[in-house]
Amino acid sequence: MNPNVKIIEEKVLSDNWYVLKKIIFEYRNKQGEWQTQVREAYDRGNGATILLYNKENQTVVLTEQFRMPTYINGNDSGMLIEACAGLLDKDNPEDCIRRETEEETGYRIGEVKKVFEAYMSPGSVTEILYFFVAEYSKAMKVNDGGGAEDEQENIDVLEIDFRRAIEMIRTGEIKDGKTIMLLQYAKINNLL
């Protein structure tokens, strides 16, 4: 534990969907002085995300779905193009991303490669996201995808030319951080 941090109080503000806490703590700054600070932290668990790519066809599989937080922050349609992702739900990251890939995209993948992990919004959200890539082929398609019916996800599966996907970042058609990171990883590492 960090000797420069003393948690004074934790208060649950909401546990409707996940847990939002108010945390009062003391932090010893670089000058050695203790400062009392107050922060809120949203704990929704950790997650995993994946970029499916096909070298032969030079394509990637992405998803599109309605995201309320983007809608209330200026996204007129609320629709967001994203890499497949999901919460771990007590699984290890590899098992989670295989499950989510089949649920959301309809592809049953084998080998996945973990490429990195990152805190996506460390100022307010506790989540660590595990990033994966995997090759896919038409033969791996086992269903239509679209997400788990009981989760009301209503996901559309998109197969997009890789060059077009990179251009969609520039045009603003792709604004999702995890997706941008995975597409840039693919470009930098010459996956396609």
Of all residues in the chain, the percent with pLDDT exceeding 70 is: 100
Mean residue pLDDT across the chain: 95
pLDDT at 139 (0 to 100): 96
Sequential DSSP letters for 33-82? -EEEEEEEEEE---EEEEEEEETTTTEEEEEEEE-HHHHTTT-SS-EEEE
pTM of the model: 0.93
Of all residues in the chain, the percent with pLDDT exceeding 90 is: 92
Domain at 47-188: CATH architecture: Alpha-Beta Complex (3.90)
The segment(s) of the chain belonging to CATH 3.90.79.10 are 47-188
Confidence check: pLDDT of 117 > 90: yes
pLDDT band at 146 (very low <50, low <70, confident <90, very high): confident
Contacts of 22 (CB under 8 A, 6+ apart): 10, 11, 13, 38, 39, 40
Cβ–Cβ under 8 Å, residues 143 and 105? no
57-90 pLDDT, tens digit per residue, is: 999 999 999 999 999 999 999 999 999 999 998 8
